[in-house]
Amino acid sequence: MDKDAAEYTSSLIFDRNLFEYDIMTDFAHLIALNECGLISNTELKKLLSLLLQLYREGFNKLEASYDVEDVHIAIEGWLAEKVGNIAGKLQTARSRNDQVATDLRLAMREKLLELLDSLLSFERTILTFAERSSSKLAIGFTHLQHASPITFGHYFLAYFDMLLRDLNRAISAFDVTNRSPLGSGALATSSFRINRKKTAELLGFDSLVENSLDAVSSRDFLLDSTYASLSIMLTLSKLAEDIIIYSTTEFSIFELPDSLSSTSSIMPQKKNPDVAEIVRARTGMVVGEFTSIASILKALPIGYNRDLQEVSVHSFQSVRTATESIRIMNKVVKGLKINEERVREILSDGFSNATDLAEGLVKDYNINFRDAHRIVGKTVKLAIERKKALVDIDPKVLEGVIFEVTGRKVKVDKKYIVQLLNAERVLYERGTGGPSEREVKRMVDERKENLKRVEEEVKRRKSRVDESKKNLFDIVKKIVR
């Protein structure tokens, strides 16, 4: 190949990520070749011991130049240099097409386990935070306008639940990934009867990607990992945006620890939420990665096409970004200070309890909700004109509006309004899944159980991967000895 073309099409720079997995794939494949008599015991021993040596010495030992097509060629070349002809047997019953698909799956499942580990740890932080702030007053927004008082327990549990769904997406990406394409050959298997189930088991896969054409043509498992990462980033970007807004002087609801914010090089009073801003920006990058992959896969004819190579880098990058972003946001949330005084101050001069006045009119004055909504709307308008909070409105004014809307003369007590609009009472009244301390505590308890269950799920997968890896290396070492 022309040197420039070879360099242009090479995947060697990315393939550093696949190095150790390519060797593991070789191990499993060689053992299977030996089992069906395609290589002798001596050849097996020789090749395994060299590959084990290479594994220990690492990628750089290959000393491959960047016009080498990929890591598979580089390793085969390295072997050929050491043992000559026997190296040529390695590719019996195998193609780089099933090989790279196998390597990618082995590598990605471990990246997903790291992602899951950081996400579980973040979930624990959030749940603790939610529990500690189960009764801490917060403001709920819609359209970024004051909507209703809530609690920070309720607020953080919302993030907990979003991230738990994200976590389940990552687990399901893992399960889609953890299947073996090895033995599919270029697309149609081969005439050698190697045992695909055996290699799958040696590599700790749950099952086969059985159809060999599907196995070499598909990268949807990488799209799944990228989508899981994207959906995590979308959740994190929401939290990041909240943090950015809530920590402005105007809101002053959150305060970031000094160690996680920066200052301006000219304005010493500034405390900037840089981490949250970078999370927000990197979310955009992951959107791009997802789009890149989908665009590469779109209308690609079935069978292996070199385009597939270009999917890998985006999916691994997106998972890395998600993992790093979770880790840093975990720190940010741990260090977050909530200014509850400020929340009370904002709530006291706002109208976030207007719905509760309307609901009170329904319950205690038998007014239908639409009328009650109209009454409170008009009352709020009058309160704003008089520069008063809703709670401070003269009961006579409210009585007047009720008459205007319903034609009914009723008596409203000042004490009634004050009690009705008290934020704690408002919260207390709220129903299932709502912001009351009672509901938050119930939800926290349930979620502690849920989290334990998911932790077990992840642990089970991780142990299986770790054990199979250890097992494979034990087998190899035993043969080499």
Binding interface with ligand ARG (CB under 6 A): 11, 70, 96-97, 100, 304, 306, 308-309
What would you measure as the largest C-alpha separation in the chain, in angstroms? Answer: 103
Active site residue 143: yes
Distance CA(199)–CA(27), nearest Å, equals 9
Closest to ligand ARG by CB, 100 or 338: 100
Residue 15 vs 166, nearer CB to ligand ARG: 15
Instruction: Report the alpha-carbon distance of residue 59 to residue 102 in Å, rounded.
Output: 18
Strand ranges (DSSP E) for 132-257? 137-142, 145-151, 179-180, 207-208, 254-255
φ and ψ of 208, to 5 deg: -95, 155
Catalytic member of 143, 191, 265, 295: 143
- Cβ nearer to ligand ARG, comparing 100 with 293: 100
**Smallest separation, CB 213 to ligand ARG (Å):** 14
- Spatial distance between the Cα atoms of 104 and 127, rounded to a whole number of angstroms: 34
Please name the residues in contact with 364: beta carbons below 8 A apart, sequence gap of 6 or more.
Answer: 416
DSSP 300: P
Min dist CB 83 to ligand ARG, Å, is 23
Q: Among 332, 325, 294, which residue's Cα sits nearest to residue 311?
A: 294
CB of 73 to ligand ARG, least distance (A): 8
Residue 72 or 282 having the CB closest to ligand ARG: 72
Give min distance, CB of 254 to ligand ARG, in A.
44
Q: Are 199 and 184 spatial neighbours (Cβ–Cβ below 8 Å)? A: no
Beta strands in 51-199 (DSSP E): 137-142, 145-151, 179-180
Nearer to ligand ARG, 97 or 352 (CB): 97
CB of 251 to ligand ARG, least distance (A): 48
DSSP E strands, 305-448: 337-338
Amino acid, single-letter form, for residue 389: A
User: What's the min distance (Å) between Cβ of 446 and ligand ARG?
Assistant: 45
Query: Which lies closer to ligand ARG via its Cβ, residue 183 or residue 273?
Result: 183
3-state SS of 42-53 is: HHHHHHHHHHHH
Degrees to nearest 5, angle at CA 76 with 74 and 77:
65
Instruction: For residue 308, give every residue at least 6 positions away whose Cβ sits within 8 Å of its Cβ, in sequence order, or none.
Output: 217, 219, 296, 300
At residue 25's C-alpha, the angle toward residues 22 and 27, to 5°, is 115
Minimal distance, residue 97 CB to ligand ARG, in Å: 5
Find the shortest distance in angstroms from Cβ 427 to ligand ARG.
55
Supply the DSSP symbol for 85: G
Q: Which residue has the tokens 């009720």?
A: 402
Closest to 130 in 3D by CA, of 162, 103, 104, 154: 154
70 or 131, CB closer to ligand ARG?
70
**Calpha distance 268→300 (Å, rounded):** 55
Asked if 264 is an active-site residue, the reply is yes
Q: Which of 207, 264, 348, 463 is catalytic?
A: 264
Measured from the CB atom, is 97 or 261 closer to ligand ARG? Answer: 97
Q: How far is the CB of 212 from ligand ARG (least distance, A)?
A: 14
Contact by Cβ (8 Å): 47, 107: no
Spatial CB neighbours of 377, under 8 Å, sequence gap ≥ 6: 354
Phi, psi of 3 (to 5 degrees): -60, -45
Contact between 316 and 292 (Cβ < 8 Å): no
Q: Which CB, 95 or 436, lies closer to ligand ARG?
A: 95
Residue position matching structure tokens 């060629």: 73
Residues identified as active-site? 143, 264
